[in-house]
Structure 1
Amino acid sequence: MCLRFKFSETVRERLSIFTGVLQLLLALFGLTLICFSIYMKVRIESKMLLLENYGSGTLPYFLISVGCLMFVIHSFGTKISFDCASVETRQRFRNVFVCFFVTLCVLSLIVMAAGCMCFAHRGIIQDSLHQGLYTALKMYKNDQGIKTAVDRLQLNFRCCGSKTYSDWFHVSWVSNKYLNTEHEDVIKNLRDGELITDSVPFSCCSVLSPRPCIHNHVNNSKFHKHYSDVTLYKHGCTSVLGDYFSDTVLTPAANTVFVTFGIELLVIILFRHLQTSIISAWEEGDDAGPGDAFCIDGCSILCCDGGDPNRYLRKRDRDAELAEDYDTEDGGGGAGKLGGSAGGEDSQGGGKDSPERKKEDKNSKGKEKQKKSDKKNNGKCKNKKKDSPKSAKRGSKKPSPKSKGGFRGKARGKR
């Protein structure tokens, strides 16, 4: 992540094409994810009779939204990547590089959340299946639709009950209109007017059993000779159906989404290197020249001829030259304007001898005199600064003792 590379224009062109192909594949995967989410919703809703307190549209709608985002964003990214392969067409996207890079980062986080949601959804489905199947067992004798769904489920998936076949021992699954309520055996097993026995529906019979299926009085060995093991499916339908949803829908979707997340990270890294190389070459002043490519700016690990520390100095000098050229162009234009205005004033004022012209000459002469006086004053100040205290001491002469005595002798003679 902290490596810094030097990409030439040829490398940038190939990197742009490769990144564009990856983004095109991700855009197509977005459409595939939309179709797969619709299939998931149909498959889950086909078992809605056996699911309780479950929102069948939560996961599919979320995956459909992710697929739409991937298709739109990566379609636009494909256009950007292929246009970046040419110096002439990449200039139009220079201002959207950073915004698109941030969008890719946000999209990768959404894709990762979709993969985690697929893995975590198995537990939600199993809880809903357990509650729904136990309710379906209670409604088995009264609702023909639920009876058909439960029998088909146990036959097709080779399971029995919700968690085990003994779940049927705690519910009344035979309607009273099909019972002889006057029979002794029936009367013994009535609980609050409902028959509770150790029997299960025929759909629980295992096809792998070597003997005829025993689904009535399963726990009573007195009724069955040489009865050592049950002839029923021992696995509950909750775990079997949960494994089915997990193996055929959720796990493939989660694995595919996480692979897509890995490709998303690769696209982000490649696009970041492409972006920084293009911007670096532009800052160097040559869009087709080499440029530094990196993920994180300011890294100290260099690779393949790292960044030039003088590029910002060259950029500053280039900007200064452009500013000077701009100033000279403005100055020449201003001089021309002043000349034109002066010519217009001369023509309007009557030439050199006009009173306005004389006033301007006097003002210009006064300014020149003022400049000369300022120069003289500056020269004097400099001369004064040159006279140091040492030179002043050297220039001053002290009276010698002889001269002092001479003055004193003259004074005594006068006295």
Structure 2
Amino acid sequence: MVVGKMKFTFQKRVKLAQGLWMLSWLATVGGAITFTLGCFLKTELRRRGEVMDNTDIHCVPNTLMIVGLASMGGNYFASRICQDALDAGRFPRWKTYMKPFFGCSIFFTTLMLISIILSYIMKGSLETSLKIGLKNGIRFYKDTDIPGRCFQKQTIDRLQMEFHCCGNTDYRDWFEVQWISNRYLDFSSKEVKDRIRSNVDGRYLVDGVPFSCCNPSSPRPCIQYKITNDSAHYNYEHETEELNLFIHGCREALVNYFMGLMNTIGAVVLSVFLIQCSVLSSVRLLQTSMEAVAGQENVEIDTEGYLLEKALKETIMEYVDPVMKLLLLNQVGSSEDKAEAGAATS
């Protein structure tokens, strides 16, 4: 059963070829934009790599970069086809390349759709990665003299100031870790000794936060020590002093930032995907409508074009079967090699 059959006059074929030429170059630009967006997202993720626990989320920018490059190459090829589309003598030379072209284009267009879906569903993985990464970042904040952790303090401070956040979930996360290095503690002080003794792990815990948690919008000088002790500060109630510190956690801020970024990228790539689908459909209609002109002296005859010569399932199997046969041959060849090697050993 033929799918998407359409009748074409010579004038319609001319308009289709001209429109496809413009559309293919538009899709080429779209591929370049997709590649650029993938590079930008990759750079942003690498910038925050110190507060992320795994690299699973990098599959989104990696996929975008691959499909962007493939889109540029495939659409350049489509533009060349358009140039020979109305020449009955030159167009048949593309016949041997059309099946591989459609196979590769469909594969990378499907991959583009997968990258769009991934950009919307990776929130859970991103949140888990940031939760563990930020927890470790806060825990190693004080280790400025340990190789591999020297810049952790700088990273966390810059992050909190840039995103107006504090801690992992909120500022109370700093109460649970010793974020002041022992080298800056006076162990002859009774207060320091009492705090260390009162903790089962021997850590110096305080109800305070680093300076980077201070909100510059606060009308009063920042209170970053004895935050929960209302009597330690004049005219102060920590439960109502919302402007004193950034109240949002950095995990929430980073998740919102990256998801907003990926959702925007997903919307742009979706537009490119729709253009790419239009290019593939147009190339297919142009190819099939020109097949009837091959060998004809009168190129201005009416022809028919279609998207699929057979049903969708049969068309898919037509592309899949050669791949499966090739894989089976490779498996049989490797089995025979192993058998020969075993026989030679015995």
Deviations 1:30-62 (A, max 9, x none): 333334333333332222222223367544333
Residue 304 of structure 1: aligned partner? none
TM-score by length of 2: 0.77
CA–CA separation in structure 1 for the residues paired with 2:180 and 2:86: 74
Q: 2:195 is matched by which residue type in structure 1?
A: N
Residue 154 of structure 2: aligned partner? 148
Q: Is the 8 A contact 2:31 2:272 kept in 1?
A: no
Picking from 200, 215, 225, the partner of 1:206 is: 215
Question: Following TM superposition, by how much is the alpha carbon of 1:281 offset from its aligned partner in structure 2, in angstroms?
Answer: 4.8
Mark the structure with the bigger radius of gyration.
1
Question: Following TM superposition, by how much is the alpha carbon of 1:273 offset from its aligned partner in structure 2, in angstroms?
Answer: 2.3
Q: 1:171 is matched by which residue type in structure 2?
A: V
Alignment of 1:238-317 (within 5 A): 238-248=251-261, 250-281=262-293, 287-296=299-308
CA–CA separation in structure 2 for the residues paired with 1:95 and 1:285: 22
Question: Following TM superposition, by how much is the alpha carbon of 1:296 offset from its aligned partner in structure 2, in angstroms?
Answer: 4.5
Alignment of 1:374-393 (within 5 A): none
Q: Is the 8 A contact 2:84 2:91 kept in 1?
A: yes
**More helix by percentage:** 1
CA–CA separation in structure 1 for the residues paired with 2:5 and 2:295: 16
Say yes or no: does 1:165 pair with 2:171: yes
Q: 1:33 is matched by which residue type in structure 2?
A: T
Residue 30 of structure 1: aligned partner? 31
Alignment of 1:344-355 (within 5 A): none
Question: Following TM superposition, by how much is the alpha carbon of 1:277 offset from its aligned partner in structure 2, in angstroms?
Answer: 2.1
CA–CA separation in structure 1 for the residues paired with 2:55 and 2:129: 6
CA–CA separation in structure 1 for the residues paired with 2:54 and 2:7: 58
Say yes or no: does 1:93 pair with 2:102: no
Alignment RMSD: 2.7
CA–CA separation in structure 2 for the residues paired with 1:275 and 1:36: 32
Alignment of 1:6-405 (within 5 A): 6-54=7-55, 58-143=59-144, 144-190=150-196, 191=199, 192-228=201-237, 229-230=240-241, 231-248=244-261, 250-281=262-293, 287-296=299-308
Q: Is the 8 A contact 2:24 2:279 kept in 1?
A: yes
Contiguous gaps of at least 5 residues in structure 2:
145-149, 312-346
Q: Is the 8 A contact 1:4 1:292 kept in 2?
A: yes
Q: Is the 8 A contact 2:56 2:125 kept in 1?
A: no
Question: Following TM superposition, by how much is the alpha carbon of 1:169 offset from its aligned partner in structure 2, in angstroms?
Answer: 0.9
How many residues end up aligned between the 2 structures?
Answer: 298
SS in 2 for 1:292: strand
CA 1:280–1:88 in 2, change beyond 3 Å: closer, same or farther? closer
Question: Following TM superposition, by how much is the alpha carbon of 1:159 offset from its aligned partner in structure 2, in angstroms?
Answer: 0.5
CA 1:298–1:168 in 2, change beyond 3 Å: closer, same or farther? closer
Question: Following TM superposition, by how much is the alpha carbon of 1:295 offset from its aligned partner in structure 2, in angstroms?
Answer: 3.0
Q: 1:137 is matched by which residue type in structure 2?
A: I
CA–CA separation in structure 1 for the residues paired with 2:302 and 2:54: 61
Deviations 1:143-182 (A, max 9, x none): 2411111111111211000111111011011122322334
Question: Following TM superposition, by how much is the alpha carbon of 1:95 offset from its aligned partner in structure 2, in angstroms?
Answer: 4.3
Q: Is the 8 A contact 1:17 1:85 kept in 2?
A: no
CA–CA separation in structure 1 for the residues paired with 2:285 and 2:257: 43
CA–CA separation in structure 2 for the residues paired with 1:256 and 1:103: 22
CA–CA separation in structure 2 for the residues paired with 1:243 and 1:145: 25
RCO comparison, higher one (Cα < 8 Å, 6+): 2
Q: Is the 8 A contact 2:88 2:295 kept in 1?
A: no
CA–CA separation in structure 2 for the residues paired with 1:39 and 1:289: 50
CA–CA separation in structure 1 for the residues paired with 2:94 and 2:54: 49
Question: Following TM superposition, by how much is the alpha carbon of 1:79 offset from its aligned partner in structure 2, in angstroms?
Answer: 0.6
Q: Is the 8 A contact 1:45 1:56 kept in 2?
A: no
SS in 1 for 2:6: strand
Question: Following TM superposition, by how much is the alpha carbon of 1:125 offset from its aligned partner in structure 2, in angstroms?
Answer: 2.9
Question: Following TM superposition, by how much is the alpha carbon of 1:297 offset from its aligned partner in structure 2, in angstroms?
Answer: 5.0
Q: 1:107 is matched by which residue type in structure 2?
A: F
Q: 2:44 is matched by which residue type in structure 1?
A: R
Contiguous gaps of at least 5 residues in structure 1:
300-415
CA 1:51–1:187 in 2, change beyond 3 Å: closer, same or farther? same
Q: Is the 8 A contact 1:54 1:125 kept in 2?
A: no
Q: Is the 8 A contact 2:290 2:303 kept in 1?
A: yes
CA–CA separation in structure 1 for the residues paired with 2:294 and 2:7: 14
CA–CA separation in structure 1 for the residues paired with 2:308 and 2:246: 59
Q: Is the 8 A contact 1:199 1:216 kept in 2?
A: yes
Question: Following TM superposition, by how much is the alpha carbon of 1:6 offset from its aligned partner in structure 2, in angstroms?
Answer: 1.8
Deviations 1:378-409 (A, max 9, x none): xxxxxxxxxxxxxxxxxxxxxxxxxxxxxxxx
Deviations 1:329-377 (A, max 9, x none): xxxxxxxxxxxxxxxxxxxxxxxxxxxxxxxxxxxxxxxxxxxxxxxxx
SS in 2 for 1:17: helix
CA 1:298–1:105 in 2, change beyond 3 Å: closer, same or farther? closer
Q: 2:271 is matched by which residue type in structure 1?
A: V
Q: 1:279 is matched by which residue type in structure 2?
A: E
